[in-house]
Structure 1
Amino acid sequence: MPRQPLDDTALDTVFRQARTHYGFRPEPVDEATLRQLYDLLKWGPTSMNSQPARYVFVMSEEGKSRLLPALSEANRDKAHEAPVTVIVAVDTRFYEHMPKVFPSSPNARERFAENPETTSDTAWRNGTLQGAYLIIAARMLGLDAGPMSGFDNAMVDEEFFPDGRYKSNFLVNLGTGDPESQRPRGPRLAFEEVAEVV
């Protein structure tokens, strides 16, 4: 049976009316919601089901005090105010889980272990995809999101991933957005400017 498109309310929630938030209200986000978030985003597809993204949900004052010094000055207040800031990272040795997540290819672990360039490409491409799934899943659960670059990756990695296995990719603030913090929405390019049908 063919799947039916989602209704306009769902499409508005996830894309058309969703906005990047730069400020957040003080309503907390609990760990149960974060677990629900992961249980939704984990179903997004990745190459060979590799699932290379890793997440640190920074919520406590102690956690924020470790994170904030690595952020650009423009991003510190955003992250401090947000109930949660997620460090979306990649596992550079994700392939160690391949026997579990992709058992149909018994030599997948070795193929990645022996090919560092393919491993790196796979980790960053698919880890970034998973970070996008996180934003979509958050919106579907009623949270607002504010993805950010603008931080010192090396500082974050030294503080949160000192063994060097995980590497930070980008950050996402989560919570209930403050509408007053929004900027005018930027225009989007038209189909004809970015796509062709061949």
Structure 2
Amino acid sequence: MTTQFHDNILSADALDQLFNEARTYNGWHDKDVSEAQIQKIYDLLKMAPTSANMQPVRLVWVRSEEEKAKLAEMASDGNKDKIRAAPVTVIIGYDIDFHEELPWLFPHADAKSWFEGDEEGRKEGAARNSALQGAYLIMAARAIGLDCGPMSGIDLDEVTDEYFGDDPKVKADWVCSIGYGDPSTIFDRSPRPDFEKFNRVV
């Protein structure tokens, strides 16, 4: 039997939407992001791979005016207005005790035992894999027609205390505003390196 391989390459328009023409936005049009759209973003990002399906990301979607104002006060001066104006800003955190969920998330093996007694190893795995999930979040938002403005200029200890304070094993890592970006607020695109600059094929 001959194995059939299919070149299921996305269209040029789709690749532009996800990568080539996508930008980091600093300002937003006054158009809402619905809870249904938030749910769709999550339903897409959760399907992407994490090690042993650990799914360590923990997300808080800051959408109300009251909570946006509160979160903005935790941000650096250059990011306050971005958060206030965005329809929603998601806090990307990670759960150091993700392994407690592995019996149902990864039922193929006793994966929980791989991480018990090794909190430093869990921190490393949670940070790496939640960062992946944050990247998946950006791509999922772009895929459904939204724009993103990721930020790290914020007091993460304060964010952790405020939004994850009831679970000491969850830490905030960064935030990302999501909405319909205002093109007048973006900078000229910064240089991108050619393949030969940072790559080797061996």
TM-score normalized by the length of structure 2: 0.95
Deviation at 1:2, TM superposition (A): 2.6
Runs of 4+ residues over 4 Å off in structure 1:
none
Aligned to 1:67: 71
Partners of 2:7 and 2:92 lie apart in 1 by: 31
Matched residue of 1:114: which SS? coil
Percent identity, please. Answer: 45
The one of 147, 150, 163 aligned to 2:153: 150
The question of 1:114 aligning with 2:89 is answered: no
Aligned to 2:140: 137
Check if 1:8 corresponds to 2:16. no
> Where does the alignment leave 5 or more consecutive residues of structure 1 unmatched?
none
- Which residue of structure 1 lines up, in the alignment, with residue 179 of structure 2? 175
Separation in 1, partners of 2:46, 2:7 = 21
Give yes or no for contact 2:88–2:177 (8 Å, CA) kept in 1: yes
Report the count of equivalent residues: 197
Between the aligned partners of 1:149 and 1:18, the Cα distance in structure 2 is 19
In structure 1, the partner of 2:35 is: 31
Q: What is the aligned-residue RMSD (CA, Å)?
A: 0.9
CA distance in structure 2 between the partners assigned to 1:159 and 1:66 by the alignment = 9
**Residue number among 80, 85, 92 corresponding to 1:81 in the alignment:** 85
Q: Secondary structure at the match of 1:184?
A: coil
Q: Is the 8 A contact 1:56 1:87 kept in 2?
A: yes
Q: Which residue of 1 aligns with 2:61?
A: 57
AA at the equivalent of 1:188: R
